[in-house]
C-alpha cells in the first residue's frame, strides 16, 4: 500500500527524474528516507557523461553503505521514479536496504520503450523480486507512472531531434 507520505516522496523522485531529463540524463530519480521519515539522500540519473552505471539507486546503495548502520539501512525506504534495474536491485540487496516504493515498473518501462521503438537494453529486464529474495516492494502508482511515461517520451523525442 502507498500512503500519503509515500506519495510525497514518490513525487519528489519524479521531480528528480524531470531534473535529470532537463540535464540530458535519462529520466530517473530516487530518494532515500530513514525509518523516522527523514530524507537522507537523493539523486537522479547521470549517464549522459557516458557511464551507464550512474543510476540514482546505485548511488543510494553506496551512500547508505558508507553512512548508515546495518539496522538503519534495514528500516530505510527507497522511493524511485522507476523500478530498480538488476544492477541497482543487487546493490540494494547487498547493502541490506529495506522497502522499495516505485512510481513505475520495469515492465511498464519496457512496454513504453517498445511503443516508442527503442531497442531493448543489453541488461535484462528483471523485477526487483527476481533479484532480491526478501524485499517489500510497492508500486506502480498509476497517476505518477503516467508522468514518468511522459518524461521517457520526451527523452527519446529530444534525442531524435538532435
Measured from the CB atom, the residue of 6 and 26 that comes closer to Zn ion is: 26
CA-to-CA dists, residue 95 to 19, 66, 90, 113, 116, angstroms: 27, 10, 9, 30, 35
Closest separation between CB of residue 45 and Zn ion, Å?
A: 8
Measured from the CB atom, the residue of 6 and 57 that comes closer to Zn ion is: 57
- Which of 33, 59, 76, 88 is close enough to bind Zn ion by CB under 5 A? 88
Tell which residue, 57, 137, 53, 67, has the closest CA to residue 92: 57
Closest separation between CB of residue 28 and Zn ion, Å?
A: 8
Closest separation between CB of residue 21 and Zn ion, Å?
A: 16
Q: Are strands 100-104 and 39-44 parallel, antiparallel or unpaired?
A: unpaired
- Which of 12, 18, 44, 55 is close enough to bind Zn ion by CB under 5 A? 55
- The span of 42-50, 54-62, 63-71, 73-81 binding Zn ion (CB under 5 A) equals 54-62
Please, what sign has the CA dihedral across residues 62, 63, 67, 73? negative
85: contact with Zn ion by CB under 5 A: yes
Tell which residue, 7, 9, 14, 13, has the closest CA to residue 149: 14
Closest separation between CB of residue 4 and Zn ion, Å?
A: 27
Closest separation between CB of residue 155 and Zn ion, Å?
A: 16
CA-to-CA dists, residue 117 to 24, 42, 64, 110, 153, angstroms: 20, 31, 36, 10, 11
Measured from the CB atom, the residue of 85 and 144 that comes closer to Zn ion is: 85
Q: 30 forms bridges with which residues in the sheet? A: 43, 80
Using CB under 5 A, list all residues that contact Zn ion.
55, 85, 87-88
Amino acid at each position: 500500500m502507498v500512503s500519503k507520505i509515500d506519495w510525497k516522496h514518490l513525487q519528489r523522485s519524479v521531480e528528480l527524474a524531470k531534473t535529470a531529463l532537463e540535464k540530458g540524463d535519462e529520466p530517473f530519480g530516487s530518494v532515500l528516507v530513514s525509518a523516522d521519515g527523514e530524507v537522507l539522500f537523493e539523486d537522479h540519473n547521470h549517464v549522459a557523461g557516458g557511464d551507464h552505471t550512474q543510476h540514482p539507486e546505485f548511488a543510494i546503495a553506496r551512500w547508505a553503505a558508507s553512512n548508515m548502520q546495518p539496522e538503519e539501512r534495514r528500516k530505510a525506504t527507497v522511493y524511485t521514479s522507476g523500478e530498480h534495474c538488476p544492477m541497482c536491485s543487487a546493490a540494494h540487496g547487498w547493502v541490506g536496504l529495506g522497502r522499495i516504493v516505485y512510481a513505475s515498473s520495469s515492465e511498464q518501462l519496457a512496454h513504453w520503450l517498445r511503443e516508442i521503438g527503442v531497442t531493448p537494453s543489453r541488461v535484462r529486464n528483471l523485477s526487483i523480486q527476481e533479484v532480491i529474495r526478501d524485499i517489500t516492494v510497492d508500486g506502480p502508482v498509476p497517476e505518477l507512472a503516467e508522468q514518468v511515461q511522459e518524461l521517457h517520451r520526451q527523452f527519446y523525442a529530444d534525442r531524435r531531434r538532435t
